[in-house]
């Protein structure tokens, strides 16, 4: 599903220790949730600069997730590509429209992905 070695190597190059490539994906999902929480706060406070900063951070994580998909592993990679791309669109709209509901929608999807990822990696490890 993912080219875990690429993601792990990219993260390791930034001098951040990660227990495993599986943990990295979990951390990326958690990062999106944290960044979106900060973006929501910035929207509520009317802070354009911080709203943009946090939405860009979330978008960068989705871009990284897309770049690590391994399309030789079957349909799941194609599904995730479409899902991640849609989440990027929602983030763009959330920033442009100052729309907290769009961030909530992204968070709901990411929370589901995170829970599914944790369940599937518990079995795999």
Task: Supply the CATH number for residue 116's domain.
Answer: 1.20.120.340
Among residues 35, 90, 95, 96, the alpha carbon closest in space to that of 61 is found at 35
Using one digit for the tens of pLDDT, what is the confidence trace for 37-94? 999 999 999 999 999 999 999 999 999 999 999 999 889 999 999 999 999 999 999 9
Neighbours of 94 (CB within 10 A): 24
Among residues 106, 91, 104, 121, the alpha carbon closest in space to that of 26 is found at 121
Q: Name 2's bridge partners.
A: 69
Using one digit for the tens of pLDDT, what is the confidence trace for 4-47? 555 555 555 554 555 688 899 999 999 999 999 999 999 999 99
Q: How many domains does one find in the chain?
A: 1
More confident residue, 5 or 108: 108
The residue segments making up the domain with residue 84 are: 4-13+22-124
Q: How far apart are CA 90 and CA 47, in angstroms?
A: 19
């Amino acid at each position: 599903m993912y080219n875990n070695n690429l993601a792990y190597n990219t993260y390791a190059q930034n001098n951040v220790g990660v227990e495993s490539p599986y943990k990295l994906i979990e951390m990326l999902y958690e990062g999106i949730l944290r960044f979106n929480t900060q973006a929501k706060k910035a929207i509520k406070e009317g802070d354009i600069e911080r709203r943009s900063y946090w939405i860009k951070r979330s978008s960068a994580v989705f871009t990284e997730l897309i770049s690590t998909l391994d399309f030789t592993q079957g349909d799941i990679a194609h599904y995730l590509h479409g899902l991640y791309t849609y989440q990027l669109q929602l983030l763009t709209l959330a920033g442009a429209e100052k729309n907290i509901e769009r961030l909530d929608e992204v968070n709901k999807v990411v929370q589901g992905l995170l829970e599914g990822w944790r369940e599937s990696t518990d079995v795999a490890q």
